[in-house]
A and B are shown apart, each in its own frame.
With several copies, the nearest count.
Chain A
Amino acid sequence: MVRIEFLGPIAKESLEMEATTLHDVAHKLSDDSEVKEWLSTCAVAVNDTLVSSLDTPLKSGDKVSLLPPVCGG
Chain B
Amino acid sequence: MLELHENALNVPDILSRWYQKERSNNYGAYLSFVGTVRHENGIEGLSFDLYEPILKRWFEAWQQRAKAEGAVVKMAHSMGDVMVHESSYVAAVFSPKRRVALELIDAFVEDFKATAPIWKYDLKDGVRIYAKDRSAPIAGSGLLETRQ
B residues within 8 A CB of A54? 143-144
Q: Could you give, for residues 41-70 of chain B, a 1 whenever the CB lies within 8 Å of some chain A CB and a 0 otherwise?
A: 000000011110110010000000000000
Residue of A26, A43, A44, A52 ringed by the most chain B CB atoms within 10 A: A43
User: In the complex, what residue of chain B is closest to A53 when comparing beta carbons?
Assistant: B143
Total cross-chain contacts (CB, 8 A): 117
A26:B146 contact, CB within 8 angstroms: yes
Identify which of residues 11-63 in chain A touch chain B, using a CB-to-CB cut-off of 8 Å.
Answer: 22, 25-27, 29-30, 39-45, 48-54
CB-CB under 8 A for A41 and B141, given A48-B53, A50-B54, A70-B116? yes
A69:B141 contact, CB within 8 angstroms: yes
Report the minimum CB–CB distance from B103 to chain A (whole Å): 17
A7:B117 contact, CB within 8 angstroms: yes
A30 to B109 alpha-carbon distance, docked (Å):
34
Is B125 an interface position by the 8 A CB rule?
A: no
A73 to B139 alpha-carbon distance, docked (Å):
18
B145:A39 contact, CB within 8 angstroms: yes
B119:A43 contact, CB within 8 angstroms: no
A72:B138 contact, CB within 8 angstroms: no
CB-CB under 8 A for A43 and B139, given A26-B144, A48-B53, A49-B57? yes
Nearest 5 CB-CB pairs, A to B? A72-B118, A8-B119, A69-B135, A43-B138, A9-B130
9 more A-B residue pairs beyond the given contacts A42-B142, A54-B143, A70-B116, with a C-beta to C-beta distance below 8 A: A42-B143, A48-B57, A50-B138, A54-B144, A67-B54, A69-B135, A69-B141, A72-B118, A73-B89
A-B contact pairs, 5 of them (CB 8 A): A40-B142, A41-B141, A50-B54, A70-B136, A71-B131
Binding site for B on A (CB under 8 A): 7-9, 22, 25-27, 29-30, 39-45, 48-54, 65-73
